[in-house]
Amino acid sequence: MSNLLDPAILFFVFGVLAGTVKSNLEIPPQISRFLSLYLLMALGLKGGFSLAESGLTAEVAITLGLAVLLAVLIPAISYQLLKQRLGGFDAAAIAATYGSVSAVTFITTVQYLESHATAFGGHMAAAMALMESPAIIMAVLFANTLRQTSAASVSCGGTLALAGTPLRAGKILHESFTDGAQLLLLGAMAIGMVTGEAGKAVMAPFSTDLFKGMLAFFLLDMGLMAARNLGGLQGKPLWLLAYAVLAPLAHAALALALAWAAEVSPGNGALLMVLAASASYIAVPAVLRHAIPEAQPALYFGMSLGITFPFNIVVGIPLYVGIAQRVLG
């Protein structure tokens, strides 16, 4: 309940309500883009300052290793489950969406942990960066395999009509790691590590004092977008809509089990759970529109932004943090 009384979360709820009643309230795309870049830059700086203070420890290496493991396991398992009830391309797209991460969900959780005086490591921002691309690469490989199988079965006289062209995983990986937002996050983290305590003091008005207000403004925009994307899910099977809630819970449980086995701290474990439970609605859809045009954008984008994102913001974050503190504390 305390999460709902947070001003940033209330602005998200307000945005959902405004979008539901079809208000003409909107955040200009350029402003929205600036807000997302600001949040990533501030997050990177905070992570870098924290790493400069703590240094590279064994827990840092273990946590980053768990993050990569989750980034591979989740899309692999999801694809195997989904392709039994969906077309292969839709299964690959949804697996990529839920195997990748939501930066805004992560940033909101960081703010939640800070407001509740729960310690966590600055390296978790690096964990978020590492978890973004593996699911995309795997989905492209799944789609290429499907196209090759289809080509072998329908080839006639050397002529083929394929909906999509196989793409090299290396190209997608390069685009993922050189994306401006991703690069800004990693660059800001490096700058924070180099400048340390002196940089933290100088940048505090930018990276700390403004953070809460900027997050509230951005969540207002996300609420508007979430409401406007719910329409794309009309007529979809109920089991698929349930998946948008149950899959994050299952992925968070997997992350919790790994964090418990590795004796990860409660704060870092909570962030691992949030990363595993989140679903991408920016980076992955942007890539999939070109990499897997056979999949339905309204399906994977509507599920992630229309259902999973609001669920995680309003219910998931306090749930994951509370469970992590109880199990890992």
Tens digit of each residue's pLDDT, the chain (329 residues): 555 667 888 898 899 899 889 899 988 989 988 988 898 888 888 888 887 877 778 888 899 999 999 999 999 999 999 999 888 899 999 999 999 999 889 999 998 998 888 999 888 888 888 888 888 888 888 888 888 877 655 554 444 344 444 555 566 556 555 566 667 878 888 898 899 889 989 999 988 888 888 988 988 988 888 888 777 777 788 998 899 999 999 999 999 999 999 999 999 999 999 999 999 887 787 778 777 888 888 788 889 988 999 999 999 999 999 999 999 98
> Which of 312, 318, 269 is CA-nearest to residue 102?
312
Please provide residue 118's backbone torsions phi and psi, each rounded to the nearest 5 degrees.
-105, 120
CA distance 106 to 93: 21
Q: Residues 152-185, buried b or exposed e (16+ Cβ, 10 A)?
A: eeeeeeeeeeeebebbebeebeebbeebebbebb
Q: Which of 106, 83, 105 is nearest to 94 (CA)?
A: 83
* pTM across the whole model: 0.83
C-alpha distance from residue 11 to each of 208, 220, 242, 313 (Å)? 19, 5, 25, 11
* Cβ proximity of 43 and 113 under 8 Å: no
pLDDT at 98: 95
Tokens of 323: 């469970």
7-151+166-328 maps to CATH 1.20.1530.20 = yes
Left (φ > 0), alpha (ψ -120 to 50) or beta: where does 235 sit?
left
Q: What's the residue count for the chain?
A: 329
pLDDT for res 179: 61
- In this prediction, residue 172 carries a pLDDT of 58
> Hunting for tokens 């999973």 — which residue is that?
308
Both tokens of residue 6?
């947070």
Residue 160 pLDDT: 39
